[in-house]
Structure 1
């Protein structure tokens, strides 16, 4: 089953990759590594999930924000490689969660991204991970994901 078929089974489709919001590239390749710039929970150019998880958003909403940002990561990889055939695996995922003071469930929010990767990428999803807490982030985004992926030679 392809990545797109697995996404469809979850009721999702691969969006057009979001354009950078500043003076940088969405994906930078160094050898066999892809460095994917921070991906927000964007849809149609707008931040869908805004505010602090634990104050403005529930844990479930935070997980959904992470899932949407992960979908945008997949869109960036797909656009850069022209598909997923050359993707070896996700190496590292950094989840930056906008959190209310004293709220400590950032890893559970980032699980929204990890779970999506596992469901649609299978063995290509295994990754090291870190979850960080922030008071506020660009675009008032609830989550920003930074990913490193390894690819195979063309």
Structure 2
């Protein structure tokens, strides 16, 4: 990954990285349905249904390649990832308890002929690298779908390994 932040010292923890890069986490999002956004089982923390919302309101609506550009999709992915981090920090008390990013699932609402999924999903992956370091980067699946909840362009599912 050609990322200038990936050369950041491995010793810095996630909380220090957030501070050093002036990454401010939004308020913890609340679910739009009957589900939990965070489930902790053994040493795994599952976060799902993470959307590009701030203050309970969508920041972007539409499909990539139709109503939204690739760059707008990347910004939506970044906001959704910041919500992942906010929810994990809220649940754990500190992101320093995350020992590894295990998995990242990215669903992207696209128009039929769009093939730019990786460029949009990379914004979420890059945010995780900024905060946790390249050595803790996960596997990833990226899916293009016809629509997502409330017309939003992206939805993330993330699995973290955590220390007790």
Is 1:60 the counterpart of 2:71? The answer is yes
Tell me, in whole angstroms, the C-alpha distance in 1 between the residues paired with 2:142 and 2:96. Answer: 28
What is the DSSP-based 3-state SS (H/G/I as helix, E as strand, rest coil) of the residue aligned with 1:94?
strand
TM-score (norm 2): 0.87
Q: Which residue in 2 is equivalent to 1:80?
A: 91
Q: Which residue in 2 is equivalent to 1:151?
A: 162
Per the alignment, do residues 58 and 9 of structure 1 end up closer, same or farther by CA in structure 2, a change over 3 Å counting? farther
Tell me, in whole angstroms, the C-alpha distance in 1 between the residues paired with 2:96 and 2:18. Answer: 16
> Between Structure 1 and Structure 2, how many residues are aligned?
153
- Which of 105, 129, 134 does residue 140 from structure 2 map onto? 129
- Which of 23, 27, 33 does residue 22 from structure 1 map onto? 33
User: Quick check: 2:15–2:94 contact (8 Å CA) kept in 1?
Assistant: no
Tell me, in whole angstroms, the C-alpha distance in 1 between the residues paired with 2:113 and 2:76. Answer: 20
Q: Which residue in 2 is equivalent to 1:139?
A: 150
What is the DSSP-based 3-state SS (H/G/I as helix, E as strand, rest coil) of the residue aligned with 1:85?
helix
TM-score (norm 1): 0.92
Point out 4+ residue stretches in structure 1 off by more than 2 angstroms: 1-12
Per the alignment, do residues 84 and 8 of structure 1 end up closer, same or farther by CA in structure 2, a change over 3 Å counting? closer
How far off its partner does 1:7 sit?
A: 3.6
Question: Which runs of no fewer than 5 residues in structure 1 stay unpaired?
Answer: none
Q: Which residue in 2 is equivalent to 1:118?
A: 129
Question: Which runs of no fewer than 5 residues in structure 2 stay unpaired?
Answer: 1-11
> What is the alpha-carbon root mean square deviation over aligned residues?
1.6
